[in-house]
Amino acid sequence: MKVELNQIFSIEEDDNFVQWGNLTKGRHRTPLNRFKGMPYFSDVNGRTPVINFHSNPFKEDEEHTPWRDLLIQDEGRVIYNGDNKNSSKKAHETFGNKQVLKVLNLYSSKKKEGCWRNIQTLDVDISDELQGELAEGQPLPTVGGSGGRQVCDLSHLDRENIARTMQLSGEEWLVIHKWATDSGMHRSMPGIALTLSSYSTNNWNNVPSAKQAKQAVKMIQQHKETIEDLIVKDTD
């Protein structure tokens, strides 16, 4: 069965929609039990194929469901309130929560710097505790100041800018360098872009300073806006 992002399925008989049960049972007899908090498929070769985050937006903020889940499929993000409705159990002991916690480290491991950088650039409120963890997982700037790894107080915005800067490849920074040169920006800006291209090509052995990253994010945003304006003009 082929499915599409944001496709709607029905939990009841409906000629206009594919049934959710048919989707989840596949070639087997029994579909996932949506009444069992956050149902999931059994592990295959040590991997969990699917964890189902089932949420009904028509029942949010009601007496029995005084919460709101956010399932942002096209961004691959879930802000989910878990499945613990029984106060006799601790949150981490319930069926779905236990499985999510089992695999959560695969998505937020400090050993995977790319994942950590993505978390830092998400447009969500981050607690002070998590910001501290992000700070531990992020390399300190190696350029600027007196050189070497700078033991300095970086703000959350500084760290976010550095993470955003380090998400781009060397080729992408070369594109921005050419754009910055052709657009007549201050001569320091193309220079920063060229430097960052070199850093990226060398696997970020040099980590940009907070000042470099601040200007870099400005270029990223302005370059993005320029491209969007050209697309609008082409479609008019």
Written as tens digits, the pLDDT of the chain (236 aa) is 788 877 888 888 888 888 888 888 877 778 888 777 788 888 887 788 888 887 777 776 677 777 778 877 777 777 777 676 777 877 778 888 888 888 876 665 554 555 555 665 665 565 666 566 555 555 566 665 544 444 456 787 888 888 889 889 999 999 999 999 998 888 899 999 999 999 999 888 888 998 999 999 999 999 988 888 777 665 65
Q: Are residues 75 and 94 in the same domain?
A: yes
pLDDT value of position 80: 79
Q: Are residues 166 and 71 in the same domain?
A: no
pLDDT value of position 213: 93
Q: Are residues 104 and 140 in the same domain?
A: no
pLDDT value of position 198: 93
Give the residue numbers spanning the domain of 88: 32-108
Instruction: Please give the structure tokens belonging to residue 160.
Output: 């976010």
Q: Are 75 and 83 in contact (CB under 8 A)?
A: no
pLDDT value of position 146: 41
Question: Does residue 198 form part of some domain?
Answer: yes
Which of 87, 108, 129 is at the close of a domain?
Answer: 108
Nearest one of 158, 155, 142, 151 to 195, comparing CA atoms? 142
Cα of 59 vs its chain's centroid, Å: 27
Nearest one of 110, 107, 117, 108 to 207, comparing CA atoms? 117
Question: Does residue 125 form part of some domain?
Answer: yes
Q: Are residues 140 and 119 in the same domain?
A: yes
Q: Give the chain's domain count.
A: 2
Nearest one of 89, 117, 119 to 104, comparing CA atoms? 119
- For residue range 20-68, list pLDDT tens digits in order: 888 888 777 788 887 777 888 888 877 888 888 877 777 766 777 777 7
Q: Are residues 103 and 138 in the same domain?
A: no
